[in-house]
């Protein structure tokens, strides 16, 4: 209880809590991007990866709940620190002074709220699967005959929507901006940001967050421009790539048959 008191009742503890939860969430978004980049490989790659995660069953929901708690704690501590900073200067500044890196810190909480709203929608779209009709969440069959969710087609269908793709790019851009400031603040909160390597840390954080944004943007743009194509014959917009092996390994009849058998077994 003393540890919890230090973490959530003192300014230093709250900053450490912000740093720890931020580090956990940072690791998650990097892992999430790494998994999504598999969309550029054969559809079985990302579909098999998603199926592996779903096969974790209760363990997957434990991980999800842990991440949800981490997000809640991160936001709650951020709000508490904001109120404390305002209380420390109730009269405000008579003259607003803009310093280098102040822009990101000033709008940190607003970018955080936009990112939070995006995360909620993103989860409803791709995890809970309730924002679109049944046609947006197709099934397919892996090369070994396993019936799985067609995450590959689901992502392509989603990002073919110009409005959704634009909102996604804006949100990921704000998330990257949020991460850029958060990474520097994280090292500062735990006392690892020293003057000799402060500039180096800032440059590395900028480069890293730009690469993170470009990695996510590449997926969206590739889906919008047709560089990534739907390869499930049961999905509208199906367009087989030249010299691909999908049709030879898994034809339409095999997909229909296996999906129907899976539905019968579930019922």
Length of the chain counted residue by residue: 267
User: In the chain, where are the structural domains located?
Assistant: 2-87+99-266
Each residue's pLDDT tens digit, 219-262: 999 999 989 989 888 887 776 655 455 454 445 555 555 555 55
CA 4 – CA 10 distance, rounded (Å): 10
**DSSP readout, the chain?**
-HHHHHHHHSHHHHHHHHHHHHHHHHHHHHHHHHHHGGGGS-HHHHHHHHHHHHTTTHHHHHHHHHHHHHHHHHHHHHHHHHHHHHHHSTT--SS----TTHHHHHTHHHHHHHHHHHHHHHIIIIII--SS-GGGS-EEE-TTS-EEE-HHHHHHHHHTSHHHHHHHHHHHHHHHHHHHHHHHHHHHHTT---HHHHHHHHHHHHHHHHHHHHHHHHHHHHHHTTSS----TTSTT--PPTT-SHHHHS-HHHHHHHHHHHHHHH-
114-123, 170-179, 258-267: which has the minimum mean pLDDT? Answer: 258-267
Q: Who's near 252: CB < 8 A, 6+ residues apart?
A: 233, 234
Whole-number pLDDT of residue 52: 94
pLDDT-derived band at 48 (thresholds 50, 70, 90) equals very high
Q: In terms of DSSP bridges, do strands 139-141 and 147-149 run parallel, antiparallel, or are they unpaired?
A: antiparallel
Q: Is the pLDDT of residue 138 over 80?
A: yes
Would you state the structure tokens that stand for residue 108, as one six-digit string?
């940190």
The CATH class, in words, for 2-87+99-266 is mainly alpha
Closest CA relative to residue 151, chosen from 121, 127, 118: 127
Joined tokens for residue 41: 């490989």
Percent of the chain with pLDDT over 90: 31
Question: For residues 135 and 236, is the Cβ–Cβ distance under 8 A?
Answer: yes
Alpha-carbon gap, residue 135 to 111, rounded angstroms: 32
Confidence grade of residue 214 (pLDDT, cut at 50, 70, 90): very high
Contacts 24+ apart (CB under 8 A), 67-73: 67/24, 67/25, 67/28, 70/21, 70/24, 70/25, 71/21, 71/25, 71/116, 71/119, 73/17, 73/21
pLDDT at 235: 82
Q: What is the spatial distance between Cα 3 and Cα 1, in angstroms, rounded to a whole number? A: 5
């Amino acid at each position: 209880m003393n540890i919890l008191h230090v973490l959530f009742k003192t300014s230093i503890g709250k900053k450490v809590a912000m740093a720890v939860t931020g580090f956990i969430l940072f690791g998650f978004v990097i892992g999430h991007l790494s998994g999504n980049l598999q969309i550029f490989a054969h559809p079985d790659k990302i579909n098999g990866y998603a199926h592996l995660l779903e096969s974790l069953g209760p363990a997957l929901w434990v991980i999800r709940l842990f991440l949800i708690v981490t997000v809640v704690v991160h936001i709650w501590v951020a709000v508490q620190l904001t109120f404390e900073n305002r209380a420390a200067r109730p009269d405000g500044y008579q003259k607003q002074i803009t310093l280098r890196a102040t822009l990101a810190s000033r709008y940190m909480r607003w970018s955080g709220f936009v990112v939070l709203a995006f995360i909620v929608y993103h989860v409803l779209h791709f995890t809970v699967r309730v924002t679109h009709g049944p046609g947006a969440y197709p099934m397919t069959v892996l090369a070994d005959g396993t019936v799985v969710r067609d995450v590959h087609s689901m992502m392509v269908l989603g990002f073919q929507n110009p409005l959704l793709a634009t909102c996604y790019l804006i949100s990921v851009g704000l998330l990257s901006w949020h991460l850029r400031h958060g990474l520097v603040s994280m090292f500062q909160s735990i006392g690892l940001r020293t003057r000799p390597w402060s500039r180096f840390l800032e440059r590395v954080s900028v480069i890293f967050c730009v690469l993170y944004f470009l990695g996510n943007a590449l997926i969206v743009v590739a889906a919008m421009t047709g560089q990534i194509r739907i390869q499930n014959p049961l999905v509208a917009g199906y367009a087989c790539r030249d010299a691909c092996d999908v049709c030879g390994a898994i034809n339409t009849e095999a997909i229909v048959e296996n999906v129907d058998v899976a539905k019968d077994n579930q019922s």
